[in-house]
A and B are shown apart, each in its own frame.
Chain A
Amino acid sequence: MSYKALYRVWRPQELQDVVGQEHITKTLQNALGQEKFSHAYLFSGPRGTGKTSAAKILAKAINCEQAPVREPCNECDACQGIADGSVVDIIEIDAASNNGVDEIRYIRDNVIAAPRDIRYKVYIIDEVHMLSTGAFNALLKTLEEPPKHAVFILATTEPHKIPLTIVSRCQRFDFKRITSQDLVARMQYILQEQGWEAEENALYLIARAAEGGMRDALSLLDQAVSFSESIITSDDVLAITGTVSQQFLTRVVRSLKNSDTPAAVEAADTLIRDGKDPLQFMEDMIYYFRDMLLYKTAPRLDEIMERVTVDESFEELSEKTDMGWLYEVINQLNQYHQEMKWASHPKIFLEMALINISHGADSTSSRESGEASEEVTLLKDKVAKLEQKLKSVEQSPPPSQPSAPAVETNKAAREQTTKNISAGLGGDGKIREIMTRATKQELQVVSNQWSGVMKEVKQESVPAHAWLSDAKPAVCDGETVVLAFQNEMHRNMVDTKFRSLVQGAIESSVGKSLDVLTILSGQWEKLKEEFKKKQQGKEEDSTDEEAAEDDPVVDEAVKLVGSELVEFEE
């Protein structure tokens, strides 16, 4: 395999190539230039920020034949010998594999011997956090007062695991995460040198996914080059990193915001199907919300955005969102993110989290915006409805029968209602009338709250709950809800004895007062069929008569049963 990974090919050879660590490179360069370098260094920082690279460069620079220099020349025998590993005086130790006291003793015994080819013996101890306590302590004395010709460089990702006695004997340098801009600049340089091309946006996506690690970024770039056809596009990068596009995130966030749970769960489904990582997705969401929060507090600070590029839909969405909700959601997401690592069914866990959040959104947004306004809108609604009713009453003479249609415009209903019915039991006619007005959304509202209604009823009276238990809301038009019962006796009991109780329960859980009608489910099925047929007949009629007009009957049918069940036949 002649091919070498990009991050190995492009390992920096000079201090000035170590990107994003100016505070360190400058100090080291000055120390080298003035020959004031220390005998022990500790390099710490997250993965892929240049610790080992810096250690290797340092080893070259102090041994360079032209020393004192600020940068290694990379041309003299010493530099080249160190680079190809032929100089035995540069000892690179993998502390994770050699972590015992014995290995350290070996170092201690050997350090006394003078170097063979070059001026300084350099011990580079990588992953030094894995040394055992005994090994650390064995190293202490040597580290404090090594022979003149020895330099120790310790490198680690986990400095907190190093004993303080070691830390205090070294000059410590903390490497920072590399910023996106620096990563992109470096990648662009490499692409240019290699003669490849990439979309700029794709590079930013890589930089984000790399999270401040140059090696991560170059690994991803490597992968992207292998994967892409000619130019590296954003889609290539998304496929590789397992992240989702911002559009997708925006869509999910919007459905969460609108409490549109089915859409959110649907999105989770597509996500898993595409082989994206649910945990990564959750993290992306957290960053999305975090960026939104940031954008709301400081809209002009574009450059500290982590994941999001501000576009129209983001602006629009963040305008509609309030801070309280954001805090809440980020909190929740964080918690789920923690737990998710241990979940054995990540998909189901993700769905559960989305449902909880979208419902949380519901309750908190109403809490945040103040219940008063909520109530006001409800009341306004009511008033408007009452006004409408009043108008229709004024226009038409008062109906002689309680079941007669109240609304003039509703032709279908008037034709159908002929039977006289008692006020309590839902007569076919009255129910038909409701059916023409009913919408699927209204039914959804009641169905969603039905468990709440049942609970309420149970609190009031246990027998009522029992009688009601086989009932199910069948249709609702916003004023009246029809309950379908399996059993005649249940229906009668509820109808006669517990009517007001049920109504009260519905009012308190659904949030508006609804009339209750009851029907047997057998009868209901019949009515539904009949209604569907009639609608289809109507539709034919009306298309014959008034072909140009929009058909209200079809609209009703669609509203009632949903467009997926209505077939149009000309």
Chain B
Amino acid sequence: MDWNEMQVQQPTVMNMLKRSIEKDRLAHAYIFEGMRGAGKKAVAMLMAQSLYCPYKQDAAPCGSCSECRRVEHGNHPDVMLLEPEGASIKKAQVEALQKELTYKGMETEVKIYIVNDADKMTASAANSLLKFLEEPESPTLALLLTENVHFMLDTIISRSQKISFAPPELERRIEMFEAQGSSKTAAALLAKLPDDVGGNYTGENSDWIVQGRALVIQLVEEVHHRPQQMLLTLQEKWLTHFKDREELDIGLDLLLFWYRDLLTVKYGQQNLAYPDLTERLEQQVILMSETEVAKRLQLILDAKRRLRANVNAQLLMEHLLLRLQEGS
């Protein structure tokens, strides 16, 4: 990913950083906040390169010198990356980082540390970060990346400059997936899924998504027209296709997109997730009022939340389907 490419994708963010670098007003701590796939990590890497690269033009790093390449490959001794160990970032990790930062930079003046998924820091880890985030002993640049800034401590947010990333554009993503060999219908779905999920099902794996999609269509049809069959389909096909928790989560997403499409059709907007089934969507939408569609959206979102709380997958789905069917 190079600077100019990011400039096109995230113009506001890049302008902000560029001006800060040019004016030599780079703060000592930033929070990069935005959806998965918005390019936060790429920008963090670019920032590091820009700081070290001897051949940079304006703010854009050259990307080919040894400094840039080492940053890119994660081999630069003065760039530290902190990532969750297991489910969270532990206090010991932050302490190790803190200790590392008391030393002078190996090769450079400024040390950079990047905390990925910064919202996953435990309470004590986050609190340990506070003091040296505010007044680091040696010059440092902290880049905290997060998808969910609301889970971070107020006290951390107030010590850093928050930069919000715009979500990636849908049309561009659809094109990207099509270029990677997904069919048009699959690409429309993949583009709406989060980046890491969508990325796993391109190319040869896209069959799985296509099958899942067919299942969703069948299931929705049955929920609204042949309710006596839906539980059988659920048992025979759905649960065998969406096997574990992550897969089921994707399945629920696909279902969610269907009902979201109903709204889209209702308002005559663009960008359907199921673009080839406009007719069927139109048939269904006439049977449901806006509030009813909204209600169903809420049911699915609720189900997604419960899924995270370790409930039995089959019971969850049965409950959801019955609720969807009666619509309340």
What residues make up the interface of A, taking CB atoms closer than 8 Å to B?
1-5, 8, 46-48, 94, 96-97, 99, 126-127, 130, 157, 213, 215-216, 219-220, 222-223, 225-227, 239-240, 242, 261-262, 265-266, 269, 272-277, 279, 341-345, 348-349, 351-352, 355-356, 359, 447-452, 454, 472-473
Contacts and interface: CB of A to CB of B under 8 A. Distances in A.
B157 to A, nearest CB: 8
Contacts of A223: 16, 27, 161
B20 to A, nearest CB: 4
Interface of B: 12, 15-16, 19-20, 23-29, 33-34, 95, 98, 109-110, 124, 127-128, 130-132, 134-135, 139, 141, 148-151, 154-155, 157-162, 164-167, 253, 256, 260, 263, 266-269, 283, 286-294, 297-298, 301, 304-305
Interface of B is mostly: helix
A208 B270 CA distance: 36
Residue among A94, A215, A261, A275 with most chain B CB within 10 A: A275
- 10 closest A-B pairs by beta carbon, nearest first, are A275-B166, A96-B127, A94-B131, A355-B294, A226-B20, A262-B267, A97-B128, A216-B158, A47-B155, A47-B158
Contacts of B288: 451
Nearest to A126: B131
Contacts, number: 158
14 contacts: A1-B110, A99-B124, A213-B154, A219-B27, A225-B25, A227-B16, A273-B167, A277-B33, A277-B149, A344-B304, A344-B305, A351-B297, A449-B289, A472-B286
Contact of A348 (B29, B297, B305): B297
B165 A448 contact: no
Contacts of A2: 24
Given A352-B294, A472-B286, A8 B27 contact: no
B287 A454 contact: yes
A96 B301 contact: no
Contact of B124 (A96, A215, A273): A96
B27 A46 contact: no
Nearest to B27: A5
Given A94-B131, A356-B291, A1 B109 contact: yes
A343 B147 CA distance: 12
A99 B127 CA distance: 11
A372 B304 CA distance: 43
A341 B16 contact: no
Nearest to A450: B286
Contacts of A348: 256, 260, 297, 301
Nearest to A470: B283
Nearest to A279: B150
A226 B19 contact: yes
Given A275-B34, A341-B151, 11 more contacts: A3-B24, A3-B27, A47-B155, A157-B155, A219-B161, A265-B267, A342-B305, A351-B297, A355-B294, A451-B286, A472-B283
B166 A352 contact: no
A348 B15 CA distance: 29
Given A213-B158, A275-B164, A355 B290 contact: yes
